[in-house]
Structure 1
Amino acid sequence: MNKQKVDIIIVGAGLAGLSAAKKLQEQARTFVVLEARDRVGGRLLTEQFSLPSKSLDAPTHYWIDSGGQWISPTQTSIRALADEMDVTTFTGAPDNGKVILIFKGEYYQLNLGEDKPTGCFSKVVTLFKQNFSYDYNEFQTLELELDKMANDFSDGQPWGSPNAKKWDSITAQAWIDANAHTEGAKFLLNLSCLLAFAATPSDLSLLHLLFYIHCAGGLTKLHNALAYRLNGGAQEVPKRIAAQLQDNVKYGNPVSKIINNAEGVKVILSNGDVYEADHVIVTVPPALQANITFSPPLPASRRQLQQRMPMGSSVKCHLVYETPFWREKGYSGLVYSDEHVLPFITDNSNPQQSSPGILGCFLEAETVRKMMDKPIEEIQTLITKTIEDIYQPFIGTIPKPVAVHVMRWSDEQWSGGAYAGMMPPGVWTGYQNTVRESVNRIHWAGTETATKWFAYMDGAVRSGYNAVDEIYGHEICSDDPLSN
């Protein structure tokens, strides 16, 4: 058994934990980051693959983001951190070719050469504006109402709204059912929930949806949340931070117990090693915190909250083709559908390479739950057939993918799902700020604690900085990304 004493122990080497560690390093504090996995990044995972060469040339190498991948123009914290780590960005959504919309049994197309709105979601909204003006107008009206409701509270405190009890007593789906009358508005709102939560509107309270909108600064900014990607993959940022932290990041070290008393904290690993510190920052999702034994036990309100923040059900898929066949036929790779198990598809190819062609997509949430325990091969077959069904009416027979990658985040022991923990009805008003409140020397970070850009990389980065500020104090200066 090894023992070590530091100023701060950080549990988890995702963006939240590494951002906290980076700030501690800049303050010349001593710290250790304990990571259960054999890698950094948490819910960011950039995987490297290669395709066999058909000639004497070297095989084709490519990468895919199996986890989070998009950032937006107003996500200032992750953008500043990426800049500091010398990770550049590129356009996150295709801006050439035709977008396909499949809606109520009909097929529609938009040429991006005629209209190039920013962000993937903005493009499907433009399709509705051109083809379904009544549906589009209702959606716009509902958006304005949601924005207005989301401004009914401040500082990330949804329970402070005079309407909080009412809004937290119903699901987002109940509000949609009562207020959306066109199929187009319903489709766009449901698609928003898939892209935002990897869940259906029936999984979360209306108040939580409003909190999510509030954290982004409004629905217009949310529509641009998929505007950029990171060169080399999103995991490049945590990898480069970890390289600077060097041996302060310990891999393959699950935490089994945290002892919290007046003198400090003691963290015991599953292998028996012990770390002691003045404070500990826990960054794992609330739903997984029950895997750690706390002594003394956490307050009842905290334990109850952890039982009430389930993770989203995300299955992210990538189909790899020798070449981007869709581009050859004038298509962007962007598809939106109300009748397929893949409601959203995009071109996820690497911009530095002419091949292979990569389509990225998500299974819709109800299908994910049906396929939760099915063999991965069944999912591969399902999505391959779905891509064929979508494209063949436009361009005839398409090639078979040379590789199909499926990431089922519920299979990840140390994530339990993705993108983030959610608040069903009654949680925000019942537990209020419990998700963020420290317990003596235990402090919480992770995107679930963010008051800006909850559930995004930016929220994770902010939460790591905030945890350090909570311990040591902080003065916001004019160039601080958290002041934006």
Structure 2
Amino acid sequence: MKTLTKIPSLAAALQAIACLSLMVSADAVACDTEVDVVVVGGGFSGLKSAYDLQQSGLSTVVLEAKGAIGGRSRSVARKSGDGIIELGATWINNHTQPRVSALVYKFGLDTAVQYTAGDAVFQGPDGKARRVPPGSLNAGNEEDAAIEISLLGNFSVAAEAVNITYWKDYPEDQDLTIDQWIALHGYGNSSHARGLAGHLTRALVGREPYETGVHYLLDYIKSGLGLESLNSEDKGGAQYLKIKQGTTSIATSLAKAMTPGSVLVNTPVKTIKQSKHTSIVTTQTGKVFKARKVIIAIPTNTYRNITFSPPLPKKKETLVSNTKPGIYGKMILSYKEPWWRNAGLVGKFTSVSGPVCFSWDTSEPARSQYSLAVFIAGEIATRWHALSDAERKSSVLSHLGSLVGEDLAGKARDVLEINYVEWTKEEFLWGAPTSAMGPGLLRKYGDALREPHGNLHFGGGETAYEWKGYLEGAIRAGERAAAEVVAALGKGKQ
């Protein structure tokens, strides 16, 4: 990282050196800095961009608005014993997600295979909770089973037909909301089909079928290698491996491998002003950074927090101002014993009515950590967010108890520790795991999402072609944005 200001005194020299501590707050020092590239956002995408740029020899600084790096990853220590609680991104797959896996192995992190033994529990629109053996359908009768096979098959076929790098040829007559699309395909009168479509949309993008474009959802599904990949935890599934040190350790490892002092936290960006060859990035506290290029690696819904001069192009502004952040909460319930495993359950509890929308087992028996990760999403999460802290916890425990039945309800409610994050309320993010678009937006404006604007290039997980909403996608997007900048600037001094 190159420092612009001349240093006329020892005090000024010491101040400049202070800028070189790892992951410091820009508020702590007053130094205006010139670099080749400023990266806005210290999530996985921004950090990978910055890492690649520095590896190419380009001086780079990362400006992260929040007090910690990692974006929608948040690994914290368990209070009631040894172990890590994952409040954000949790899983990777070393077979289908090579970029994130390469970083895990590069930094010597340890993985554990997701637990897969036992039945799931599904609660449909009829309110009845039923055990679902591995490989079985969620339907409770033959009619619903036929509808389920047909509906999920239609989603899979339609997703496979989507081109995830070119959007304009998507059929206009099919460019509908999800609820309109399932009605068009003959499922409108089936409560089971509507319930499954709602669950699918909430689980994947945190939004409801009536507000999400089916083109966007199909693109999302294909980007994650299909429904089976997204919903499973076997060797081909998105939930295959957990990282024992926590996913945030990937982010901190990237930061530690970079130039000391080049990752600044508590540094929200206020304005970005472009001239022909230079951009001036000013933070909310008045710190100024001068760069040849800027990479924006934050959620598209948060672009509005930055004043761009000149303004973003109309197509890009239309796209980003109409994307909807996922409405999401995640609660980790920790127990003294794995009561669900003892009862022959795998820990997957799914409900179309909530507040438990879906869950996974995130235990680590070697550390005597027995946990369930419960997700609350969509309008169900909106109602849940409105509750008090005590009501949020009790509503989840009460619902989980009803899902497992009277024999296990007491064990479900006998929780040792509760941790949760309401991602919808997280400043500078305002949602998870990604954003969604309504009908027409992707087809009309999809090419503008990644398109550079002058000196600005755009990363962030939403701009990924593959694995949107996942760590893999964020890293790929970061690599793409960095490659664009390297191609434009050339490599720095080696």
Taking structure 1 as the reference length, the TM-score comes to: 0.86
1:54 aligned residue = none
Aligned to 1:215, which of 210, 213, 223? 223
- State which drifts further: 100-109 or 227-236: 100-109
- State which drifts further: 336-345 or 273-282: 336-345
Tell me how far 1:95 sits from its aligned partner.
Answer: 1.8
Tell me how far 1:462 sits from its aligned partner.
Answer: 0.5
AA of the residue aligned to 1:359: L
What is the SS of the residue equivalent to 1:135? helix
Given that 1:23 and 1:468 are in contact with CA atoms closer than 8 Å, whether structure 2 keeps it comes out as: yes
- How far apart, in 1, do the equivalents of 2:155 and 2:132 lie? 27
1:479 aligned residue = none
1:146 aligned residue = 155
What is the SS of the residue equivalent to 1:200? coil
Tell me how far 1:421 sits from its aligned partner.
Answer: 1.6
Aligned to 1:446, which of 445, 460, 467? 460
Given that 1:44 and 1:66 are in contact with CA atoms closer than 8 Å, whether structure 2 keeps it comes out as: yes
Tell me how far 1:257 sits from its aligned partner.
Answer: 0.9
Taking structure 2 as the reference length, the TM-score comes to: 0.85
What is the SS of the residue equivalent to 2:181? helix
Tell me how far 1:133 sits from its aligned partner.
Answer: 4.9
- Structure 1 residues 101 and 150: alpha-carbon distance in aligned structure 2, compared to 1, 3 A threshold: closer
Is 1:231 aligned to residue 244 of structure 2? yes
Tell me how far 1:135 sits from its aligned partner.
Answer: 3.3
Is 1:5 aligned to residue 34 of structure 2? yes
Deviations 1:83-116 (A, max 9, x none): 2222232223x322332233434443345xxx5x
What is the SS of the residue equivalent to 1:253? coil
Aligned to 1:352, which of 357, 361, 366? 366
- Structure 1 residues 38 and 142: alpha-carbon distance in aligned structure 2, compared to 1, 3 A threshold: same
- State which drifts further: 331-340 or 380-389: 331-340
Deviations 1:222-252 (A, max 9, x none): 3322222222221111111111113211111
Is 1:366 aligned to residue 373 of structure 2? no
Unmatched 5+ stretches in structure 2: 1-29, 232-236, 489-494
- How far apart, in 2, do the equivalents of 1:299 and 1:95 lie? 47
What is the SS of the residue equivalent to 1:158? coil
Identity of aligned residues (%): 25
- How far apart, in 2, do the equivalents of 1:429 and 1:327 lie? 45
Paired positions, count: 448
Is 1:128 aligned to residue 138 of structure 2? yes
2:100 aligned residue = 78
AA of the residue aligned to 1:84: K
Is 1:289 aligned to residue 303 of structure 2? yes
Deviations 1:259-295 (A, max 9, x none): 1111211111122211111100011111111111111
2:180 aligned residue = 174
1:301 aligned residue = 315
AA of the residue aligned to 1:430: K
Q: CA RMSD in A?
A: 2.2
What is the SS of the residue equivalent to 2:410? coil
- How far apart, in 1, do the equivalents of 2:153 and 2:396 lie? 35
Deviations 1:99-152 (A, max 9, x none): 2233434443345xxx5xxxxxxx5xx2438x6454344333333433333344
- How far apart, in 2, do the equivalents of 1:101 and 1:383 lie? 15
2:116 aligned residue = 95
1:20 aligned residue = 49
- How far apart, in 2, do the equivalents of 1:167 and 1:151 lie? 15
Deviations 1:167-206 (A, max 9, x none): 32x2012112333365444443332222211122222111
- How far apart, in 2, do the equivalents of 1:454 and 1:299 lie? 23
Deviations 1:385-437 (A, max 9, x none): 11222224343532521222221012111101111121112211332311111
- State which drifts further: 398-407 or 10-19: 398-407
- Structure 1 residues 364 and 24: alpha-carbon distance in aligned structure 2, compared to 1, 3 A threshold: closer
